[in-house]
Amino acid sequence: MSILIKNATIITGVTDAMVLTDHCIGIEGDLISFVCPSSELSPEFQADTLIDARDMLVMPGLVNAHTHSGTTILRNYAGDKKLEDWLFNHIIPAEMKLTPEDVYWGAKLAIIEMLKSGTTSIADMYWHMDYAAQAFQESGMRAVLSKSPLMFKDMSVDLAGCADYYNKWHNTADERLKVYLEVHSTYLYNPELLQEAARVAKQLNTGIHIHLLETKQEQRETYEKYGMSGAELCEKCGIFDVPVIAAHCVHLDEQDYEILARHKVNAIHNPSSNLKLGSGIANVPKMLQRGINVALGTDGAASNNNLSLFKEMNLAALLHNGVAEDPLALTSSQAIMMATANGAKALGLNTTGALQAGKKADLIMLGTKGAHINPITEPLSASVYSAQSSDVDTVIIDGKILLSNKELVSMDEELVIAKVKEIARRIIAA
């Protein structure tokens, strides 16, 4: 299948989210074959599908670099609580009632929300991940999936099961699905388990997805137990010897910045979740200055409570500029790069994250007719400070149109919502 997008204003995701006006994008199969000025479009390119993007902003598909898709079931539950109380006294007890089929439907709802808000790739960690993988396989989305080896019901550990999961799902669904090893955190994993997880990840030649230094309590207890920070502990145990997606990174000490930079750890900023749980504010400008790759995540819907990366881009830019009292602390260009190219880098998806020839055809198109976004004098600023998730009109992943005119092409949204509401009633009432 071939697609021609004409008359486009394009945010490329290349070189600080460079903007191109009056350009065309040619797609053949799953790849972008060219990006060129409209005046240079060859008449020989005859596409199966023509899209006029005259009233659109075209940009790379957004990358949600940290979430828990199944937790849509627990959206709007157990609010106004600190992380430790929220997690151990409310969320985990509710999660223990979830069946594999529940997680399938929860993931389906997350996929619908993310597609309709412009997310094309995610890093997902949770339980019952075979069922989440099935949902992502069916959806057409791109995902890096991580199955928990920790069984909270009896606190047993099943790293062999994680290896089996890798062998079953890695590079499946036309290579849209990848598998990393989940290491929940340094507060749930002792050093021996951290070392064993690092060994398994090296053996599989894959990466690790971890929560790192999310709260002051985590920071304090790690020092009390081990006499070092969580980042130092991960380094000592070999976690950072493989590619790492490190969610949060809120409470870093001075040496932690150097450790993350030295090991090329990918730090994932989740501003909404961190603020809602009162966990603190990660020093993103400092991480970027130190050369750390920083991407954006939503965390799960249980702690956000939605999965909109437009919301996260907006909040990240506003938050850090306000804290620093400097409007250049985190620019709109940097926020966009965090949600696109930086996210793709964090997930090891080197063929996505930017709109240029040879990259995978993962892109989104925003409608620009709304009163809230006009006039669009500066497209980068408009995308971060004015655009809303509801502006997403078209989503293309792997050269396939999954959302058109704001309508899902192949998913039954009403059915999925009804299923998840039924599950939530059962879980919360039990």
Do the domain assignments include residue 288? yes
Do the domain assignments include residue 272? yes
* Average pLDDT along the chain, 430 residues, taken 10 residues at a time: 98 89 98 98 95 98 99 97 92 94 99 99 97 98 96 79 98 99 96 97 99 98 98 99 99 98 99 97 99 99 98 99 98 98 98 98 98 98 98 99 98 98 92
Buried b (16+ CB within 10 A) or exposed e, 291-301: ebbbbbbbbbb
Considering the domain architecture, whether residues 311 and 370 belong to the same structural domain is answered as no
Q: What is the pTM of this model?
A: 0.97
What was the pLDDT predicted at 203? 98
Tell me whether strands 19-28 and 56-60 are parallel, antiparallel or unpaired. Answer: unpaired
Considering the domain architecture, whether residues 231 and 264 belong to the same structural domain is answered as yes
Number of structural domains (the chain) is 2
Kind plus residue range of the DSSP H or E element containing 194: helix 191-204
The token pair that represents 98 in the structure block: 């979830």
Indicate which CATH number applies to the domain containing 366: 2.30.40.10
Find out whether 241 and 198 touch, Cβ atoms under 8 Å.
Answer: yes
Q: Which domain holds residue 379?
A: 2-61+351-406
Considering the domain architecture, whether residues 261 and 302 belong to the same structural domain is answered as yes
Considering the domain architecture, whether residues 356 and 340 belong to the same structural domain is answered as no
Q: Which of 339, 337, 352, 250 is nearest to 65 (CA)?
A: 339
Find out whether 13 and 59 touch, Cβ atoms under 8 Å.
Answer: yes
What was the pLDDT predicted at 151? 75
Kind plus residue range of the DSSP H or E element containing 354: none
Considering the domain architecture, whether residues 385 and 316 belong to the same structural domain is answered as no
Do the domain assignments include residue 364? yes
Considering the domain architecture, whether residues 70 and 22 belong to the same structural domain is answered as no
Considering the domain architecture, whether residues 276 and 224 belong to the same structural domain is answered as yes
Considering the domain architecture, whether residues 266 and 384 belong to the same structural domain is answered as no
Considering the domain architecture, whether residues 53 and 129 belong to the same structural domain is answered as no
Do the domain assignments include residue 425? no
Indicate which CATH number applies to the domain containing 208: 3.20.20.140
Do the domain assignments include residue 363? yes
Do the domain assignments include residue 69? yes
Considering the domain architecture, whether residues 287 and 321 belong to the same structural domain is answered as yes
What was the pLDDT predicted at 152? 63
Kind plus residue range of the DSSP H or E element containing 293: none
Considering the domain architecture, whether residues 110 and 254 belong to the same structural domain is answered as yes
Considering the domain architecture, whether residues 100 and 169 belong to the same structural domain is answered as yes
Give the Cα separation of 222 and 56 in Å (integer). Answer: 49
Find out whether 292 and 260 touch, Cβ atoms under 8 Å.
Answer: yes
Domain boundary among 321, 346, 371: 346
Do the domain assignments include residue 422? no
Do the domain assignments include residue 423? no
Question: Residue 248 to residues 210, 282, 420: CA-CA distances in angstroms?
Answer: 9, 7, 28
Main-chain dihedrals φ then ψ at residue 262, nearest 5 degrees:
-65, -40
The token pair that represents 324 in the structure block: 């620093």
